[in-house]
Structure 1
Amino acid sequence: MQLVAYTREFQKNLHIAFPVMMGQLGHVLVSLVDNLMIGQLGAAPLAAVSLGNSLVFIALSLGIGFSFAITPLIAEADGAGDIEKGRSYFHHGIMMCAVSGIFLFLVLLLAKPVLYQLNQPPEVVDLAIPYLEIVAFSMIPLMIFQAYKQFADGLSQTKYSMYAILISNVVNVIFNYLLIYGIWIFPRLELRGAAIGTLISRFFMLWFIWEILRRKKKFRKYFIWSKKELLKISIFKRLVALGFPTALQMFFEVAIFAGTILLAGTLGTNPQAANQIALNLASMTYMIAVGLGVTATIRVGNQKGLKNYKDLRRIALSTFLLVFLIEALFALGFILLKDWLPTLYIDNSEVIILAAQLLIIAALFQLSDGLQVVILGALRGLQDVKIPTLICFIAYWIIGFPVSIYFGKADKLGSMGIWLGLLVGLSASAILLYFRFNYLSRKLIQKEDLVLAAATSATEN
């Protein structure tokens, strides 16, 4: 197939992906602003945010993974023109996300003592505990927001969640500035101030997306609640059947990155601070790939609803090619700017040198990290989640993390060795997931060809 068959899809892919990219970048920019502001307080506070967020990100990966089940189901219902089914998925998705938000909040509170058992610097743990307590509560509004976001994404209306996230970021930055440093009439709360800013911004984000969606005519029919369909166990079962493996996929990946934080902490405060800087920068480019992953889910889900499998494969491959080209540019940027980017975070020569070294490896795994998240998105659009979950576990925890543990020791490669494991794990994931998509998409096309051949034969006879 000619290259133009893929590149002509780039414009539509980017049209859907751009708001998601901006929204996801908005989330990371909040973290960037937190890190820049907290970095001015010293290496220990920066490491404390990294440690506290390591637990939050693990919990968040599970919650967001469940919410991702909403998008392909809405996209398939939309492709088939079934509004009633789409409305049912939407309402049950809200209830599922609300319950998961409350559950994750409670789990994070109960998990606080774990921080003392992870061989981390004591001063870092003491700073991380109050930060974690406040941010944990923000899981409730964030998860309910995710239900609205994934619903709108499934209808290819990705811009509204972008508006909510970007405006809430402004709210977060304002309250961070006031509460971290104690500006004007506000007390100086330092790390707790950053956590309170995050909490306020997430409640605002939920209110904003609820307000904007319920007022739009195109969404109004989905906001009609029927007592007859309020609780259907079969719908919850389908959401959980799709969401639980997706949550595990995200958990396995986020947990390995959280593992690098813990491994870096065993090397000392400065290596942990450097690890946080490199992770924050790498997460920004990753969010671009997440946008294309959502696009792959939406467009593949639509084509699945239409039963148009040849276009499904072509469109999916176009997203793979697009993310490869974009991530290649980011990789080049990391290599060229590795000595300058860490200076934006902190004025500590040892931390800057360590972070610059990590950015070299971050540049290398941009390609595999971007590809694997977009391929996962395409498989999610096919509602294939169980085998990809197993692939993710093997790639990250059987192949990648042992490399991090072995080479991440102080007497071997240290921080560089930790990140070498990430590179190996993400590369294995991208390769294995592509094999899975290639097998499934070709199988669907063969099935489509057999159906067409049978129909043609019946017509001729």
Structure 2
Amino acid sequence: MILSNYTKEFSTNLKIAYPVMLGQLGHVLVALADNLMVGQLGAAELAAVSLGNSLIFIALSLGIGFSFAITPLIAEADGANDIDAGRDYFQHGVIMCTLNGILLFFLLLLAKPILYALNQPPEVVALAIPYMEIVAFSLIPLMTFQAFKQFADGLSQTKYAMYATLVSNIVNIIFNYLLIYGFWIFPRLELEGAAIGTLISRFFMLWFLWFILKRKTKFAQYFTTFKRDHLNKNVFKRLFALGFPTALQMFFEVAIFTATIFLAGILGTNPQAANQIALNLSSMTFMIAVGLGVTATIRVGNQKGMHNYKELRRIALSTFLLIFIIQSIFALMFILTKDILPTFYLDNVEVIVLASQLLIVSAIFQLSDGIQVVVLGALRGLQDVKVPTIICFIAYWIIGFPISYYFGKAEQLGSMGIWLGLLAGLTASAIMLYIRFNYLSKKLILTKTKIPNFETH
């Protein structure tokens, strides 16, 4: 292997990835702003945000998973220079994602009683319910935004969603400050204020992205008037065939991280607050990996459209190598700053000590977490989604969760045991997904034929 064959792709990969990375970090920064500002109210309030977001994140993973179906289809149509197909996928994708947002909102309202049945601290549940109700409604504009974002990503125009996300974060921080603590004519609403700030920022984010894309020449041919007789059930079926397994992939991973919130809550308010700090910090580095995962989807999808399989494999491997280097740096940073980072959230000594311990485990699984999400992106570019879904289920729920559940008990390793299960699940996922990609990409090169329908395998 000549290393330069892969490193020469780094600049192109980063050019596509960095707006996605910043945009994804923007979503995390919404949660970070909530955590930092709410953390000043106390450990119970911080734990309540964690608990309320636990169900929100599960719903969010399903909605975003469905939206991810848009990107590889747009990328393939773009590679084949098929504008009509791209337009169909975009317009039907917007409808699908908006309906998903409405459905998820109502499902979350119905799911509220679950929080009472999870053996969580009563004061935390009481604070979490009203927060969750408001943030659940914000999933409607967020899901529609995702449709526009994934469409633009599929055309390798990743910067516009970044602009919208970053500007919306400023809106979120402003309204958080005004409504959490109360300032000028605004009431002090504490947790509900944080939720309202998130809601306002997400409506703004959707409007901002729509405003930008509709005025750009590159997108004009996609923004044609959509009429009812344009509806095509076959396009919806194609989106669903890719979106549903992808949603399950994200659900299986997000659900195991959400399970850590419930398991930590059983240990008490302070372990749950520490768990939230470690999760929030880990999610930032994960979003960097998501950016490269989207890049892998776009570039692999383009090469799939052109039937250039050797380039497809080489480009994909370049993204794997790049994320390995980036996540290695993050792992080192977590180890060096594990005692400092938790202090930005609150000044509870017990919470800070617990969070610093969890960051050690997080540092170790940075590599496997980054690799698994980028390999998943490459497989998504191949439109191979069913087998990876099975792999994710096995890795997280057959391997990872039992370890978290057993060793996460107070009489075993407590919080550290919970996170050792995450480490095991992510590592298993990374290894199995890479084996899958290696097999499929080599098979394509050997057969020299059009990409087969992997859904039959």
Whether the TM-score (by the shorter chain) exceeds 0.5 is yes
Q: Where do 1:84-95 residues align within 5 Å? A: 84-95=84-95
CA–CA distance in 2 between the matches of 1:449 and 1:406? Answer: 48
Aligned partner letter, 1:417:
G
Q: Where do 1:125-140 residues align within 5 Å? A: 125-140=125-140
Aligned to 2:60: 60
How far off its partner does 1:29 sit?
Answer: 1.2
Aligned to 1:224: 224
Structure 2 regions of 5+ residues with no counterpart? 452-457
How far off its partner does 1:33 sit?
Answer: 1.1
Aligned to 1:389: 389
Aligned to 1:310: 310
CA–CA distance in 1 between the matches of 2:101 and 2:29? Answer: 22
How far off its partner does 1:229 sit?
Answer: 5.7
CA–CA distance in 1 between the matches of 2:425 and 2:217? Answer: 45
Q: Where do 1:348-359 residues align within 5 Å? A: 348-359=348-359
CA–CA distance in 1 between the matches of 2:179 and 2:52? Answer: 18
How far off its partner does 1:184 sit?
Answer: 1.1
CA–CA distance in 2 between the matches of 1:33 and 1:171? Answer: 11
Q: Does 2:213 match 1:213?
A: yes
8 A Cα contact 1:48 1:124, kept in partner? yes
TM-score by structure 2 length? 0.98
| Cα displacement string for residues 396-426 of structure 1 (whole angstroms, at most 9, x for unaligned residues) | 0000000000100000100000000000000
Aligned to 2:247: 247
Q: Does 2:235 match 1:235?
A: yes
How far off its partner does 1:447 sit?
Answer: 1.3
CA RMSD of aligned residues (A): 1.0
Q: Where do 1:10-409 residues align within 5 Å? A: 10-227=10-227, 230-409=230-409
Aligned partner letter, 2:62:
L
| Cα displacement string for residues 46-99 of structure 1 (whole angstroms, at most 9, x for unaligned residues) | 000000000000000000000000000000000000000000000000000011
How far off its partner does 1:450 sit?
Answer: 11
TM-score by structure 1 length? 0.97
How far off its partner does 1:227 sit?
Answer: 3.1
Aligned to 1:420: 420
8 A Cα contact 1:399 1:425, kept in partner? yes
8 A Cα contact 1:395 1:428, kept in partner? yes
8 A Cα contact 1:76 1:302, kept in partner? yes
CA–CA distance in 1 between the matches of 2:226 and 2:245? Answer: 29
How far off its partner does 1:448 sit?
Answer: 1.3
Aligned partner letter, 2:108:
L
Secondary structure in 2 matching 1:222: coil
Structure 1 consecutive aligned stretches of length 4 or more whose deviation exceeds 4 Å: none
How far off its partner does 1:275 sit?
Answer: 0.1
8 A Cα contact 1:88 1:229, kept in partner? no
CA–CA distance in 1 between the matches of 2:250 and 2:117? Answer: 24
Structure 1 regions of 5+ residues with no counterpart? 452-461
CA–CA distance in 1 between the matches of 2:366 and 2:229? Answer: 44
CA–CA distance in 1 between the matches of 2:143 and 2:369? Answer: 25
CA–CA distance in 2 between the matches of 1:20 and 1:184? Answer: 36
CA–CA distance in 1 between the matches of 2:319 and 2:443? Answer: 20
Aligned partner letter, 1:294:
V
Identity, in percent, stands at 77
CA–CA distance in 2 between the matches of 1:247 and 1:318? Answer: 26
CA gap 1:33/1:228 in 2 versus in 1, 3 angstroms:
closer
CA gap 1:126/1:208 in 2 versus in 1, 3 angstroms:
same
8 A Cα contact 1:38 1:190, kept in partner? yes
How far off its partner does 1:449 sit?
Answer: 7.7
Aligned to 2:454: none
